[in-house]
């Protein structure tokens, strides 16, 4: 199985399925496309039906099996390799997890444009517009709501993923966690605990290390 991904420092959509596969130790290899490089279009032509990354290629499932778009890829990994355990077991939590992933996938334009993922950025704050502040508030509201489901008493040991166990929802919000860290966004203590937990995941550390060793600098928002 191969996952076609962009630059690890910038490609937030690539990070989502990559983290899911890596967290659950599903074996795969990577095909890299350097975004906005000279050969990007030729490689996209070859691997990416939608001319975007990520794309999952899995000839074990069937010949020329390709899935594009991060959410469709996460769903496919969950179905084909994880026996459904990457969504919460409880139906109410599962629909909530699906809803917040879809909301992330279809919105948060100000957050994506104004705070582009840049894993190796030394954390520091920037001036936030009203639009991005609204997106940030909504993310915090989502996280607090999810975290409250499994954190009955908010003691220090209650350091859970969004739905207790790691799920697609955590993989989906990993790039937002990275952005909140890079741009030193102020958050409530419980959210800060979640952010630190996510940043210290070995799978994210592995991604970040690779991002740090990439040399190119891309001056484009929302990639």
Ligand X SMILES: N[C@@H](CCC(=O)N[C@@H](CS)C(=O)NCC(=O)O)C(=O)O
Query: What's the closest the beta carbon of residue 38 comes to ligand X, in angstroms?
Result: 14
Read out DSSP for 151-194?
-SS--TT---BTBBB--HHHHHHHHHHHHHHHTT----HHHHHH
Query: Closer CB to ligand X, residue 18 or residue 183?
Result: 18
Task: Provide φ and ψ at 165, rounded to 5°.
Answer: -85, 155
Task: Dump the DSSP string for 60-117.
Answer: TTSTT-EEESHHHHHHHHHHHHSTTTTS-SSHHHHHHHHHHHHHHHH--HHHHHHS--
107/123 with CB nearer ligand X: 107
* In the complex, least distance from residue 61 CB atom to ligand X, rounded to whole angstroms: 19
Helix axes 202-213, 168-182, angle to 10 degrees: 50
* For ligand X, the closer CB: 78 or 160: 78
**DSSP H or E segment with residue 31:** strand 29-32
Q: What is the torsional sign of CA 131, 136, 137, 139?
A: positive
Is the Cβ of residue 11 or residue 160 nearer to ligand X in the bound state? 11
| Smaller CB separation from ligand X, 66 or 197 | 66
Q: How far is the CB of 190 from ligand X (least distance, A)?
A: 28
Q: Least CB distance from residue 10 to ligand X, whole Å?
A: 7
Smallest distance from ligand X to CB 73, Å? 7
Site residues (vs ligand X, CB under 6 A): 6, 11-14, 35, 52-54, 69-71, 105, 223
């Amino acid at each position: 199985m191969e996952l076609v991904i962009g630059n690890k420092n910038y490609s937030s959509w690539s990070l989502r399925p990559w983290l899911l596969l890596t967290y659950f130790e599903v074996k795969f290899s990577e095909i890299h496309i350097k975004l906005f490089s000279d050969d990007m279009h030729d490689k996209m032509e070859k691997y990416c039906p939608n001319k975007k990354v990520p794309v999952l290629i899995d000839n074990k499932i069937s010949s020329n099996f390709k899935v594009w778009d991060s959410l469709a890829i996460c769903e496919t990994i969950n179905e084909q390799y994880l026996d459904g355990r990457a969504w919460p077991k409880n139906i109410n939590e599962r629909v909530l997890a699906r809803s917040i992933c879809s909301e992330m996938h279809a919105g948060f334009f100000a957050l994506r444009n104004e705070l582009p993922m840049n894993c190796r950025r030394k954390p520091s704050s920037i001036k936030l517009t009203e639009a991005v502040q609204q997106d940030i508030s909504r993310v915090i509201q989502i996280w607090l709501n999810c975290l409250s489901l499994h954190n009955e008493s908010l003691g220090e040991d209650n350091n859970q993923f969004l739905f207790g166990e790691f799920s697609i929802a955590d993989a989906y919000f990993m790039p937002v966690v990275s952005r909140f860290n890079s741009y030193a966004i102020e958050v409530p203590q419980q959210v800060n605990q979640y952010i630190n937990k996510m940043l210290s995941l070995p799978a994210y550390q592995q991604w970040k290390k690779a991002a740090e060793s990439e040399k190119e600098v891309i001056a484009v928002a929302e990639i």
